[in-house]
Amino acid sequence: MSAWNEGRPAVVITGGTSGLGRAALLRLLRSGADVVAIGRSEDRCASLESELQAEFTTQLVRVVPCDLSTTHRTREGAEQIRAILRESGHLAVDVLINNAAVASSWRITTAEGYESQFAVNHLAPFLLTNELMPQLQLGYPGRVIVVTSGSHRNGRIHWGDPMLTRGYSMLRAYRQSKLANVLFCTELNQRYAPTGRLRAYAYDPGLMRTDIGSKSTAGIERMIWGLRVRSPGAIDPDVSARALVRLALNEVPKPDRFYRQLESPARPARRSTDLRDAARLWAVSAKLCASEKAVPH
Amino acid sequence: MKQTAVITGAAGGLGNSFAWEFAARGWDLFLTDRDEESLRVLARGLQRAHDVVVRLHACDLSDDTDRSLFAGILRAETPSVGALVNVAGFDSEGPFVSRDPAVLIRMMRVNMEAGMVLTHSLCSFPRSTELLRVINVASLAAFYPMPFKATYAATKSFVLSSSLALREELSGVATITVLCPAGMPTTPSARRAILDQGALGRLTTLNTSDVVRETIDAAMRGRPIVVPGFLNRAILRASHLIPSRLVAGLIGRRWGTARSYPERRPTERLAGGGS
């Protein structure tokens, strides 16, 4: 069923050291892929990498620490990924899974002054994908997966204040970033799907039992998140990871709708496929990720 | 004419929020902090998002030479400077005897002297007709003697007291607004400190961007003191009814318990580790 006839596919996954990402990383390796994973914590990356390299001795396993909260670090991460893959004979990135995400009760700003959820959950996937675009287009065709969430349906892009300096709440910022994920996939497909060289999928993993909602939250939000992820409807991250890895490595049955919830195609919010919004968000994001501009003294 | 906001401690969470909000209001920026690389990263973000000029100058505000140099640069810029925001400052929390006196002295130099020197530098030369809007970041700690943060709280009292006095003296040249916030969730350790204080810590915590917007609005109207948050204002009013000796005792017990600092027993006095 693999889309790759010969050789190992080269897969890049962000947020690989915990939750869904970690479960997916294991499954990718078991499926025989060469994988470069990205994580936030240096310690966790190092210990996971040595653990996995001991288990999977015949394929590429790297777990690279990279702070996806600023554009220059994300660019450095992309460079590192390219170098690692090149060294092991991969000129292409066959699959990029943008999975890393954060949530925070309080409004936190990145070193660039950006709101952290918008920066990590949306701008980082935008930039990493664009940085790896030449390599992705060498894939068969390249596949970009952005892990989004059903909560994008209640999201809104705050065009006048995307950093939510006014009226910040964790959910408002989270939903905005997840809607941005789907709009980003919409625009990616607009731009690249016709060339046949790249296809983007927005993947909704369902409500999982992971700790993203409790890493940097407090009070009522933490409590509610705790209740939700312990509810009987919550999915084991590994179940969600199985569907994600199938989407990453297998032939996708036609019609290959770009929005998928677990194993099946689903319908995203209408506003997430609005072509004008998708193009507008791309322009805004490109400006916010523009490469180094000289700062006069 | 486009005005410039000078912001110290710009690379931190509160400083970068001030920078962002001034830029969103169309002000040019002149930013300083100790680390040049962090300033460059922030400047890049600000310039991408807003159509403003961002200048930067890295310096150590606890260092006399560095500070005078920066003050001199500012003096040359005086006509275009419309706002000075003194954010730079830090805390060294924990049992007094386990603090390093050198660090406490450095803290006094940054928290108290830096803002004073820069304000002096900008006000001592003739200005255009526009009033200089000075924002000094103090803390709720300015109002109380605070065990485990004794020196820090005293530096903030200095900021509050001198700002209120200078505000009268400099009227017609500058307005001075003192921001007295509760703990802000700007760094992982600050967020931990808030969580350590339990429900009250969380309830008194506000989003930095809201605090910043309220403060700039108040500065533009020339208001003397900003205490963000209804609950913080209520606590402050209530505390005025209690003698400060008792307040200090209360705060000492609260912090001591929340952060598990050692009891003040003679045997443990020398054993306290850093926080």
User: pLDDT digits over A227-285, tens only?
Assistant: 666 776 778 889 999 999 999 999 887 777 999 999 889 999 999 999 999 999 999 99
Distance, CA of B135 to CA of B124 (rounded, Å): 17
Strand partners, B187: none
Asked if A113's CB is within 8 angstroms of B17's CB, the reply is: yes
Chain A neighbors of B40, CB-CB under 8 A: 295
Asked if A163's CB is within 8 angstroms of B13's CB, the reply is: no
> Which span out of B36-45, B138-147, B260-269 was modeled with the highest average pLDDT?
B36-45
Asked if B47's CB is within 8 angstroms of A111's CB, the reply is: no
Q: How big is the A-B interface in CB pairs under 8 Å?
A: 89
Model confidence at A32: pLDDT above 70:
yes
pLDDT computed for residue A51 by the predictor: 97
Distance, CA of B245 to CA of B153 (rounded, Å): 14
pLDDT computed for residue A83 by the predictor: 97
pLDDT computed for residue B235 by the predictor: 84
Q: Is B19 on the interface with A (CB under 8 A)?
A: yes
pLDDT (mean) for B230-237? 85
CB-nearest partner of B19 from A113, A216, A292? A113
Kindly report the pTM of this predicted structure: 0.90
Strand partners, B133: B83, B175
Per the prediction, chain B carries an average pLDDT of 88
pLDDT computed for residue A214 by the predictor: 60
More confident residue, B76 or A276: A276
Asked if A290's CB is within 8 angstroms of B55's CB, the reply is: no
More confident residue, B214 or B236: B214
Q: How confident is the model at residue B244 (pLDDT cuts 50, 70, 90)?
A: confident
Residue of B nearest to A107 (CA): B207
Q: How confident is the model at residue A208 (pLDDT cuts 50, 70, 90)?
A: confident
Chain A neighbors of B35, CB-CB under 8 A: none
Assembly ipTM: 0.88
Chain B neighbors of A114, CB-CB under 8 A: 45, 49
Q: Is A292 on the interface with B (CB under 8 A)?
A: yes
Model confidence at A209: pLDDT above 60:
yes
More confident residue, A291 or B112: B112
Q: Is A119 on the interface with B (CB under 8 A)?
A: no
Residue of A nearest to B13 (CA): A109
Q: Is A111 on the interface with B (CB under 8 A)?
A: yes
CB-nearest partner of A165 from B21, B186, B195? B21
> B257: which residues sit within 8 A by CB, 6+ positions away?
none
pLDDT computed for residue A215 by the predictor: 63
Q: Which of A71-85, B84-98, B176-190, B247-261 has the lowest mean pLDDT?
A: B247-261
Q: What is the torsion angle, in degrees rounded to the nearest 10, for the CA atoms of residue B160, residue B210, residue B14 and residue A297? A: -110
What does residue B18 show for φ and ψ, rounded to 5 degrees?
-60, -45
Distance from CA of A165 to the nearest CA of B (A): 5
Model confidence at B74: pLDDT above 80:
yes
> Concatenated DSSP letters for chain A?
-BS-SSSPPEEEEESTTSHHHHHHHHHHHHTT-EEEEEES-HHHHHHHHHHHHHH--SS-EEEEE--TTSHHHHHHHHHHHHHHHHHTT-----EEEE------SS--B-TTS-BHHIIIIIIHHHHHHHHTHHHHTTSSSEEEEEE--GGGGG----TT-TT--SS--HHHHHHHHHHHHHHHHHHHHHHHGGGTSEEEEEEE--SBS-SGGGSS--HHHHHHHHHHHTSTTPBPHHHHHHHHHHHHHBPPPSS--SEEETTEE----GGGG-HHHHHHHHHHHHHHT--------
pLDDT digits (tens, 9 = 90+) for A126-160: 999 999 999 999 977 899 999 999 999 999 999 99
Per the prediction, chain A carries an average pLDDT of 90
Q: How confident is the model at residue B83 (pLDDT cuts 50, 70, 90)?
A: very high
Distance from CA of B11 to the nearest CA of A (A): 7
Chain B neighbors of A164, CB-CB under 8 A: 209
Asked if B53's CB is within 8 angstroms of A296's CB, the reply is: yes
Model confidence at B199: pLDDT above 80:
no
Asked if A113's CB is within 8 angstroms of B45's CB, the reply is: yes
Q: How confident is the model at residue B17 (pLDDT cuts 50, 70, 90)?
A: very high
Asked if A113's CB is within 8 angstroms of B202's CB, the reply is: no
pLDDT computed for residue B266 by the predictor: 46
Asked if A168's CB is within 8 angstroms of B194's CB, the reply is: no
The residues of A assigned a catalytic role are 174
pLDDT computed for residue A2 by the predictor: 46
pLDDT (mean) for A165-189? 96
Cβ atoms B215, B21 nearer than 8 A? no
